[in-house]
Homo-oligomer: A and B are copies of this chain.
Amino acid sequence: MTRGAHTVTVVGGRGAVGTMLAEWAAADGDGDGDAVIVVDLPGRVAGDSTGPSGAGIDGAGIDGAGIDGAGIDTVASGTVPGDVTAPEAALVSVLARTDVLILAVPESVAVACLPIVEALLPAGALVVDTLSVKSRYAAALDEVGFGHRAVGVNPMFAPSLSPDGRAVAVVAYDGRPVPADLREPWTRRGARVVSVSADEHDRLTATTQALTHATVLAFGRALGHLDVSVDDLLSLAAPPHLVTLALLSRVASGTPEVYREIQSANPYAEQARAALAAGVREVGKAARAGDSAFADLLDRARDPLRHRTEELRATCTALFADPALFPEPTDATPEGQPCPRT
């Protein structure tokens, strides 16, 4: 993540975000002694690409050869099997020469490893986490009296998408400005760096992520309760339904651990789900009450969008014109024929 002859170590480097950041570190290095070390659990660095990331790192600019304890100081980059919460000799050696440690791991692992990396990292090291939720990790940093600089990043896009035009949240836990070297890998790829505190981060992502995922997943479970045929739905779907089905296909295909952490680790997520439940009740109440109550409901539902409403409507109009929303007719719904399964 920084320029110069540095060693960047990516723990959880076989996961989707870890893979992306390791590739970026390798691509951004100046080649003059830089090293990128990928650390992951033994089952994940042995060529296993069936984990949550699905994306292998081999061939993407980083040497995929394993490094054992004996060879660790003789090659610049490589992969090291190990558990950062209980490092063996090879990993201890790697940590002792790491300038930037990227923790692309679940919250439980990130919190558990803090006393260990605190003791093993050299002076001046930077620790970068990629957690989806920041406030509990921030509290853990305080509790252990973490002495190294710690900065969190949270890219607001799946690693399978281009960063160009997307946002990345950056949290400097000590409140000091985010180092330019840490912003640069994002900005050079077109991403917008948005600096927030850990609490701000979690308050915002409780809405942008926890509420959004809960909404889409609840919609999916509702489909299941209603026992409808997806062929019939797609045959008659208006654009809003098509888009919501498409969102469901994506959100419900997410990595369960990551998506659960967003719902369970964020101190504001339960409030977001409660707000959604209240919203569902309000829709039913307004529907039963009458046209005037329902008009009021629409106004109140739109109100949070404020001065961005027209911009978002334009976005929606553009999405509804996207050719991806025009599915090919299937045999299940030939033109002018009855739906077979309703």
Contacts and interface: CB of A to CB of B under 8 A. Distances in A.
Interface of A: 156-158, 160-162, 164-167, 169-170, 178, 183, 187, 192-197, 200, 203-209, 211-226, 228, 230-254, 256-257, 259-260, 263-264, 269-273, 275-284, 286-288, 290-291, 294-295, 297-327, 329, 333, 335-339, 342
A301 B200 contact: no
A165 B304 CA distance: 33
B284 A252 contact: no
B270 A276 contact: no
A325 B315 contact: yes
Given A260-B286, A263-B286, 7 more contacts: A157-B238, A167-B236, A195-B338, A196-B338, A218-B279, A263-B283, A263-B294
Which of A204, A278, A300 gathers the greatest number of chain B CB atoms within 10 Å? A204
Contacts of A329: 192
A273 B287 CA distance: 10
Given A161-B320, A226-B272, A275-B221, A309 B249 contact: yes
A239 B336 contact: no
Contacts of A308: 230-231, 234
A273 to B, nearest CB: 5
Contact of A315 (B166, B194, B240, B242): B242
22 contacts: A167-B237, A192-B333, A192-B335, A204-B232, A204-B233, A204-B339, A206-B226, A211-B226, A212-B244, A216-B244, A218-B276, A221-B282, A225-B275, A225-B279, A248-B312, A249-B305, A249-B309, A253-B309, A256-B294, A256-B295, A259-B294, A260-B291
Nearest to A333: B194
A329 to B, nearest CB: 6
Contacts of A253: 298, 302, 309, 313
Nearest to A228: B207
Contacts of A204: 228, 232-233, 236, 339, 342
A307 B302 CA distance: 35
B304 A230 contact: yes
Nearest to A196: B339
A315 B333 contact: no
